[in-house]
Amino acid sequence: MTLPLFFAGEREITEKYSNKEVIISFNKFFIPEKKALYNFILKSVSFSEDSNDIYQNTALRAFKYFRKFDTSKRFKPWVFSIALNEIRKYFKNKIQSSDIHSIENSYEQIPDTQNRELAEAVYSAAYSLKNTEREIFFLFYDSGFNISEISEITGKTQGNIKVILSNARKRVKSFLGSKK
Amino acid sequence: MNKKIKDEDIKVILNSMDFDIPSEIDAKVNEMIYSENLPAGFFKKLLRTSNPFIKWVPAFASILLLITLGLIQLNRNAPERKPLSEIKIEYELKDKNIKIIWVKKENFLLRRLKK
């Protein structure tokens, strides 16, 4: 009979989960989500090259705290909440170092398709939003999370998220309208 | 540009831009996870903090001990009071050098009868 992790002492945890087992288990959860995670980070930081560092930090941080992850919960919102913290940290550092303008308008990575012009307009609209609005905008429209999952990721109430999302939607639509 | 852009259109536009993780970044992350290229004492630190219950054990134990001692103290039987067995009244007439002692006992009659 195994004890629930909550009551397990240090020795029991060490014996139950070896490093190899943790890695295998982590990869089982992480691999299906990593592309979506990378895309969320990339788009959230305006296709900046720093997205690679943020992704790397997120993956390592997720791995580091994976032992604390409650496997009865969904992994995707959990790992996205880590990514969100890393993105916030990135913007904070950029603001502190007055380097915020260097991350704007890096659309070179957007493929040259029929929708390119429209896509650029949507991304421009998204980057005109406030940080919180932009986070929720990308989580909802790009990563496909629902309101309750976004609430789990951001730590905000569902009502608050609905209001922020509605404001963001209005701003984006009015931005796109003004670009006509 | 279409002014009346719908929610679904935004989703489609955003999702149409789907990027693969650069292979060197993916490889680097895997390498860091698989190798021991992690900060020293990485798992030790995690294990120490992995069970939040453990750090509260001393506090819980001391509170439990205090409660137990308090309950024991409260439940301890107070020494039983013995019922009054006698009433003793003394009168002293000093001028006649007389002292009267009146003792009332519950079993007074019984004892007298026995005598």
- Tell me, yes or no, whether A32 and A100 share the same domain: yes
**B51-93 pLDDT tens trace:** 667 778 888 999 999 999 988 888 876 666 666 777 888 888 8
Per-residue pLDDT, A54: 92
Residue A8 within any structural domain of the chain? no
Q: How many CA atoms lie within 13 A of B110 on its CB side?
A: 3
Please count the other Cβ atoms lying within 10 Å of the Cβ belonging to residue B28.
Answer: 17
Per-residue pLDDT, A113: 62
By residue range, what is the domain housing residue A45? 18-109
Residue A5 within any structural domain of the chain? no
Of A14, A38, A118, the CB nearest to B1: A118
- Tell me, yes or no, whether A82 and A122 share the same domain: no
**CATH label of the domain that carries residue A179:** 1.10.10.10
Highest mean pLDDT among A42-46, B23-27, B30-34, B62-66 belongs to: B62-66
Containing B88, the helix (H) or strand (E) segment is strand B86-93
Please provide the DSSP assignment of A113-142 as one string.
Answer: STTHHHHHHHHHHHHTS-HHHHHHHIIIII
CB spacing of B16 vs A64 below 8 angstroms: no
Of A8, A52, A169, the CB nearest to B22: A52
Mutate to test the interface with B, among A14, A122, A129 (most CBs of B within 10 A): A122
Residue A117 within any structural domain of the chain? yes
**CATH label of the domain that carries residue A84:** 1.10.1740.10
Indicate if the pLDDT at residue A55 is higher than 90. Answer: yes
- Tell me, yes or no, whether A105 and A119 share the same domain: no
Per-residue pLDDT, B113: 53
| B34-57: average pLDDT | 62
- Tell me, yes or no, whether A24 and A101 share the same domain: yes
- Tell me, yes or no, whether A137 and A103 share the same domain: no
**A89-125 pLDDT tens trace:** 998 888 766 555 454 455 656 666 666 777 778 888 8
CB spacing of A169 vs B17 below 8 angstroms: no
d(CA A134, CA A140): 10
CB spacing of A56 vs B29 below 8 angstroms: yes
Phi and psi torsions of B83, nearest 5°: -65, 150
> Which chain B residues have a beta carbon less than 8 Å from that of A23?
33-34
Residues in contact with A155: Cβ distance below 8 Å, sequence separation at least 6, in sequence order: A81
> If DSSP codes are grouped into helix, strand and coil, which group holds residue B103?
strand
> Which chain B residues have a beta carbon less than 8 Å from that of A19?
43
Indicate if the pLDDT at residue A2 is higher than 90. Answer: no
- Tell me, yes or no, whether A148 and A178 share the same domain: yes
Per-residue pLDDT, B2: 47
d(CA A23, CA A115): 40
- Tell me, yes or no, whether A135 and A95 share the same domain: no
| Among candidate residues A91, A109, A127, the one where a domain is terminated | A109
**Helix axis angle, A116-127 relative to A158-178, nearest 10°?**
130
Q: Which of A158, A149, A134 is nearest to A78 (CA)?
A: A149
How many angstroms separate the CA of residue A42 from the nearest CA in chain B?
A: 9
Q: Please state whether beta strands B86-93 and B98-105 pair in parallel, antiparallel, or not at all (unpaired).
A: antiparallel
Residue A12 within any structural domain of the chain? no
- Tell me, yes or no, whether A130 and A74 share the same domain: no
What are B102's two structure tokens?
């009146």
* Domain count for chain A: 2
* Local structure of residue B56 (DSSP, 8 states): H
Of A52, A56, A119, the CB nearest to B17: A119
Cα–Cα distances in angstroms (integers) from residue A77 to residues A73, A83, B4, in the given order: 9, 10, 31
How many angstroms separate the CA of residue B40 from the nearest CA in chain A?
A: 12
